């Protein structure tokens, strides 16, 4: 069954234990014939489609925007200037290759040697038993891991690169090797081969159909499906907490939720979600909805639902999002409830917006509009933004600004592709394999439905945000930015604040969230939850997932570093919401007010929640 003289399998697929492997050539020939006809019809159908052609011409070129050619040109020059590093990496590669050949010879001889390389913890790509049990696939796996290590060694050994350029080179090298993984190709993916033989190639034909459907849905772009979109309807399965839209302007609809308790707390609760996403991440359904849970605790909950802007709103700036967002919401809530103060929550960029609003209110002598502020995974200090720094340097921002000039909009799918790159194996290749190689529909998953519901951004606002926050980190400076002519100074904010970070956050690193919390002058509570940017926040008490850390030991009132805070903290089981509930109730007043029904006071109901702005998909 093996050719031990060559150090590897002579006829690798034949040497596997696959049943009916001899049928594979005929199956693939039949698939090729049928695929050609499907592709021909597909191309003819779209050859004269003007919208399809326009999409092709204007398509977002990630490699150009991030300056990928320049990155690898610089890397090559540095390697040529110091060839000894390349030689050392090459020598290590050949030494390990020889070890791998020896390992394979031992396996083919019936021995059970220790593998030369194993996948890193958390790498789920090679979890199928065939990657370990079948010598052919075991060899492919280890050869790929060996090649990946060599690529990283080459990049890591290049002298002369500044730290940021090295980080970019390492990041995109990893993305390239991710794309080259044997799991991504039919003949080197055992699960896909099993499926092909078992279904006589129907998985591949169905996969091609789904690829075409995905391209048609996105007008020529390859946008891999992540969930069953027809499994969810806004207002039915998700975004279904009862309420009414009670206010609307160009940029947002304000939703007031229907109370579920006879008595409510005095101070209303305003939620400011990120304008880069739809608000219903906080209202995913009865079991996961933070909004529904907050209503059940006796809060009168209001939430901003941002518009999905088109070219008609391209002139809207960052300060417009302040003026027509939180500031307009405060006035509307006063009309709806008679209350001049609110407790406010900001999520991610919504938290940055909230903090900027707080500083504006302080500077304009309106300090009593917001009693307390809660920040979910929010950055105010942008000194370390983790892997997002790859996409936010000066050259990237300039090229992105140039790209946005044509339509005055950064389309949602363009931003979504950036975030997908941060977790390419999970958010791109995993779903591509499942759909296009295995021919299977993805499972219904509410968070991924929300994730695929992308939102556009006006160029003026987005460019301002990238430059002043990510690139120049001006928000943390006293008077570093101005809003409506007013200089912003975060250090003047004395509002009691609650900062929630998540330990595996790749968008708002927990240490940077801690540094952000230190910029405010008021009493601040910092909490570190488990999981990541979304799952760590969407963790209602009833699900009892993950855990959270709060400070329980003595020491300085405000530790100098996140590491020092961590030493003074203790882990608690369950949801962070249990802790937040105790904190917010001290600012919300007793639950002794008559429940407030939307549309029955100063503002009339416009329509049912979740409103109309949230329904616009695409971008």
pLDDT tens digits along 580-617: 999 999 999 999 999 999 998 889 999 999 999 999 98
Confidence check: pLDDT of 577 > 70: yes
Report, as an integer, the average pLDDT of 528-532. 95
Average pLDDT over residues 517-526: 96
For position 6, what pLDDT does the model report? Answer: 42
Say yes or no: 293 and 184 in one domain.
Answer: no
The verdict on 254 and 179 lying in the same domain is no
Q: Which of 75, 348, 517, 577 is catalytic?
A: 348
Judge whether 395 lies within some domain. no
Among this protein's residues, is 348 annotated catalytic?
yes
pTM of the model: 0.91
**Which of 182, 205, 228 represents a domain boundary (last residue)?**
205
What pLDDT does 392 receive?
84
In a domain, 41, yes or no: yes
Is 444 among the domain residues? no
C-alpha of 146 from chain center: 29
Whether 583 is covered by a domain: the verdict is yes
Structure tokens of 554?
Answer: 């003595």
Same domain, 170 and 254: no
* CATH code (residue 304): 3.40.50.1820
Q: Are 151 and 295 members of one domain?
A: no
Q: Which residues of 458-481 are buried (b: 16+ CB within 10 A; e: fewer)?
A: bbbbbbbbbbbbbbebebbbeebb
> Is residue 597 domain-shared with residue 468, that is, in the same domain?
yes
Judgement on whether residues 11 and 105 belong to the same structural domain of the protein: yes
Give the pLDDT of residue 291: 98
Q: What average pLDDT does range 242-267 have in this prediction? A: 98
Domain contains 342:
yes
Mean pLDDT of 392-416: 85
In this structure, are 161 and 248 located in the same domain?
no
165 with 254, same domain: the answer is: no
Residue 471 is part of which domain span?
243-386+455-615
Burial of residue 86, with CB atoms counted within 10 A of its CB: 0-12 exposed, 13-18 middle, 19 or more buried: middle
pLDDT at 7: 46
pLDDT tier at 8, thresholds 50, 70, 90: very low
* Contacts of the segment 480-488: beta carbons below 8 A, 24+ positions apart: 481/356, 483/318, 483/319, 483/322, 483/356, 483/359, 483/360, 484/319, 484/322, 484/323, 484/360, 486/360, 486/363, 486/364, 487/363, 488/356, 488/359, 488/360, 488/363
177 and 276 inside one domain? no
CA distances to 45, 363, 437 from 194, rounded to whole Å, are 33, 66, 11
Total domain count for the chain? Answer: 2
Q: Give a yes or no: residue 394 inside a domain.
A: no
How sure is the predictor about 42, in pLDDT bands with cuts at 50, 70 and 90?
A: confident
Flag whether pLDDT at 536 surpasses 90: yes
Residue 408 forms part of a structural domain: no
Same domain, 188 and 255: no
**Count of alpha carbons within 13 angstroms of residue 337, beta-carbon side:** 30
Q: Does the residue 418 lie in any domain?
A: no
Q: Which of 144, 177, 205 is the last residue of a domain?
A: 205
**Average pLDDT taken over every residue of the chain:** 90
- The confidence score (pLDDT) of residue 5 equals 39
| pLDDT of res. 55 | 59
Same-domain pairing of 184 and 286:
no
Say yes or no: 528 and 587 in one domain: yes
């Amino acid at each position: 069954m093996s050719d031990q003289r060559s150090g590897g399998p002579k006829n690798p697929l034949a040497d596997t234990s696959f049943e009916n492997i001899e049928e594979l050539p005929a199956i693939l020939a039949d698939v090729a014939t049928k695929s050609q006809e499907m592709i021909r019809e597909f191309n003819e159908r779209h050859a004269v489609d003007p919208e399809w052609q326009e999409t092709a011409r204007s398509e977002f070129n990630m490699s150009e925007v991030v300056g990928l050619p320049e990155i690898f040109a610089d890397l090559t020059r540095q390697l040529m200037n110091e060839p000894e590093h390349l030689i050392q990496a090459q020598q290590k590669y050949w030494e390990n290759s020889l070890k791998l050949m020896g390992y394979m010879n031992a396996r083919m001889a019936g021995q059970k040697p220790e593998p030369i390389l194993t996948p890193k913890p958390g790498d789920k790509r090679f979890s199928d038993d065939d990657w370990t049990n079948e010598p052919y696939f075991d060899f492919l796996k280890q050869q790929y891991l060996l090649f990946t290590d060599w690529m990283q060694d080459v990049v890591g050994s290049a002298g002369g690169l500044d730290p940021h350029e090295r980080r970019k080179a390492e990041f995109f090298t990893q993305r390239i090797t991710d794309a080259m993984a044997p799991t991504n190709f039919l003949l080197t993916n055992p699960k896909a081969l099993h499926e092909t033989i078992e279904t006589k190639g129907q998985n591949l034909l169905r996969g091609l159909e789904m690829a075409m459907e995905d391209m048609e849905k996105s007008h020529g772009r390859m946008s891999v499906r992540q969930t069953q979109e027809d499994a969810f309807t806004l207002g039915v399965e998700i975004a279904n907490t009862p309420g009414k839209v009670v206010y609307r302007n160009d940029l947002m609809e304000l939703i007031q939720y229907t109370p579920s308790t006879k008595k409510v707390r005095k101070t209303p609760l305003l939620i400011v979600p990120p304008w880069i996403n739809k608000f219903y991440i906080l209202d995913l359904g009865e079991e996961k909805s933070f909004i529904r849970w907050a209503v059940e605790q006796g809060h009168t909950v209001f939430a901003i639902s941002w518009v999905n802007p088109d070219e008609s709103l391209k002139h809207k700036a960052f300060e417009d999002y302040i003026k027509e967002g939180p500031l307009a919401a405060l006035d509307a809530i006063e009309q709806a409830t008679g209350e001049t103060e609110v407790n406010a929550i900001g999520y991610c960029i919504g938290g940055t917006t909230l903090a900027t609003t707080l500083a504006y209110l302080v500077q304009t002598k309106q300090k009593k509009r917001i009693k307390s502020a809660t920040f979910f995974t929010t950055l105010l200090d942008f000194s370390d933004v983790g892997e997002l720094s790859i996409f936010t340097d000066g050259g990237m921002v300039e090229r992105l600004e140039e790209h946005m000039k044509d339509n005055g909009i950064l389309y949602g799918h363009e931003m979504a592709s950036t975030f997908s790159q941060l977790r390419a194996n999970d958010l791109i290749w995993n779903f591509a394999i499942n759909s296009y190689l295995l021919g299977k529909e993805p499972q219904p998953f509410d968070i991924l439905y929300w994730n695929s519901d992308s939102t556009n951004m006006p160029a003026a606002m987005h460019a301002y945000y990238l430059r002043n926050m990510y690139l120049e980190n001006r928000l943390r400076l006293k008077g570093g930015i101005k809003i409506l002519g007013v200089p912003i100074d975060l250090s003047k904010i004395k509002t009691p604040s609650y900062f929630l970070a998540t330990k595996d956050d790749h968008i708002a690193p927990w240490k940077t969230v801690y540094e952000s919390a230190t910029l405010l002058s008021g009493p601040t509570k910092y909490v570190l939850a488990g999981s990541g940017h979304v799952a760590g926040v969407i963790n209602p008490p009833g699900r009892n997932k993950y855990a959270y850390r709060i400070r329980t030991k003595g020491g300085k009132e405000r530790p100098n570093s996140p590491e020092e805070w961590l030493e003074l903290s203790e882990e608690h089981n369950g949801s962070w919401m249990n802790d937040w509930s105790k904190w917010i109730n001290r600012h919300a007043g007793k639950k002794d007010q008559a429940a407030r029904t939307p549309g029955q006071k100063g503002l009339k109901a416009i329509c049912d929640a979740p409103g109309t702005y949230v329904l616009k998909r695409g971008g």
